[in-house]
Structure 1
Amino acid sequence: MTMENKHFSENERIFYSDGYRLAQSAIEEGLSNDTLFTAIESLYDAIDGLNDSIIALAERQNIKVACFKGCHWCCQQAVFANSYELHFLSEKIKKDFNPEDLTDVIAKTDAKYRITSNLSDDDILKYKAPCPLLHEGACSAYAARPMACRIYLSTKLQTCLEFYHHPENETNFPALIDLPLRAGQMMNEGFRAALKESGIETAEFRLEEGLRITLKNKQPNF
C-alpha cells in the first residue's frame, strides 16, 4: 500500500488504510459482486458509525447537527460517486424497487442528465434540482446511498438554505463538520487504490450520469 501524498495526518492515514483493507479483502476472496458489495457495505457501516459518534459527541457539547429526515436541501445539488458505488447502488435499486418505481427513477435520471450534461463544471456546482432518488422529502435508496451523501453533516440549517436559494453567493457554504468529510474521502481513496493496484480502474460520475448507465444494464468499470 502506498500513499503518494506525504502530508496526510495520522487520522487520514488510518481512514485511508481502512478503505484499502476493505477493498483488499474483496480482492483476496475473489472479486465478484458479492465480495465487492460486502466490502462496500462495510465501508458504509464504518463511516455511519463514525457519524453516530460525532453526533453523540456534538449533543454532549450542546452542538446541534441540523440534518434530519425530511430535510433535503443537500439532495438538490450535484452529487458525485465512484463507479463501484454506483454499481452497488443500481443493483440495490433494481432488486428492491418495483417496476413502476424503477421506471420513474430512470425517467427522472434521464431528465436531470439532459440538463446537467450541457452545463459547465462551474454551472453544475450551482445548479439545483432534486436527486432522482428523492421521494417525499427522503432518499428512496437511503441504505445504499453513496459516500458523498453520508458524510454531509451540517450544523446550521440556514447555511444550507442560503446555499440552495443563492448558490451564486461565494461567501456562503453549508456549515459542514469536517471530520466525516475527510474520513469518507480518505476511505474512498484507499478503496480505489486497492482496486487500482489489482488492475481494476474506477471512475467518478455525477449521480444521474452514473445511474443512467448502470440502471440500463451498461456497467462501467468498478
Structure 2
Amino acid sequence: MHRKAFRTTLREGNLPSFNPGHPCVLKVHNAISYGTKNNEELVQKNYSLAVEECHVQNTAREYIKAYNSVAKSAESFGEVPEIIPIYLVHRTSNDIPYATLEKELLGDFVKYSVKDGKEINLMRRDSEAGQKCCAFQHWVYTQTDGNLLVTDMQGVGMKLTDVGIATCKKGYKGFRGNCATSFIDQFKALHQCNRYCELLGLTSLQPKPKRTVGPPKPKTQPARPRSERQILIAQKL
C-alpha cells in the first residue's frame, strides 16, 4: 500500500531506453501514509524514497552485469537474467512530483527468490530463471564476503525488476539496502545450491556435517612373553 503503479506511455523525454509511445510502468510512493507533515516535508520524503528505489535497483543491475560476464565464461550456462534499469522522473505539475519509470514487462510475473525465512517460492525449483537467480544471489553473497545480498528477485522470464538489497549492519562500503539485515543470515541458512552454482564453482553455504565418533575401542593387552619353564611344560603336554 505504500506505492502505486500505473501503466503509462511515454510522451516525451530523453531517456536512452525509451522512445515516445513506449509502454512503461510509473511507480509513485503514496505520500498520504506519512501523516500530517507539511507539503515541503512530503515532497522531500517522496524524493528520498524514489531516489533510494533507483539506487537499489540500479546497484543490483551493476552486480548482475558482472555476474553476466562470469556466467558467459561458464560452459553451457546459457542465457543470464537481467535486471532492467529504472529511472527517476520529475513531474513538475503533480502534487507528488517524483516517481520512478521502467519499461513494462509483459507475461506471467513470478517471484523467484527467497525473500525471508517465511517465503520460499516452490515454482522456482524447476524454473531455469529461478535457479539462475538463486545462483546469482549466491555469487553476490560470495563476492561481498557475505556483506550484501540481492533479494526479492522477481519478474517475467529472465527480465527482473523491483528487487531488494540487504547489507550488513554497518552497510557495505557505505551503502545501505532497503531490506532487513536478517535476510542475509536467512539466505545462508536456506539456500540450496543448484547446477548453476556448480557451473560457477560456488561452494555450498551449508556447514559440513560433523563426523560422528563412536565409542573408543578397548585396548587389547599385549601378550606377555612365555618363560622357558612354561614352554617346556607346554611341550610335554
| Structure with greater proportional strand content | 2
| Structure with greater proportional helix content | 1
Establish whether TM, by shorter chain, passes 0.5.
no
Higher Cα Rg: structure 1 or 2?
2
Higher relative contact order (CA 8 A, sep 6+): 1
TM range (shorter): under 0.3
- TM-score between both structures, scaled by the size of structure 1: 0.28
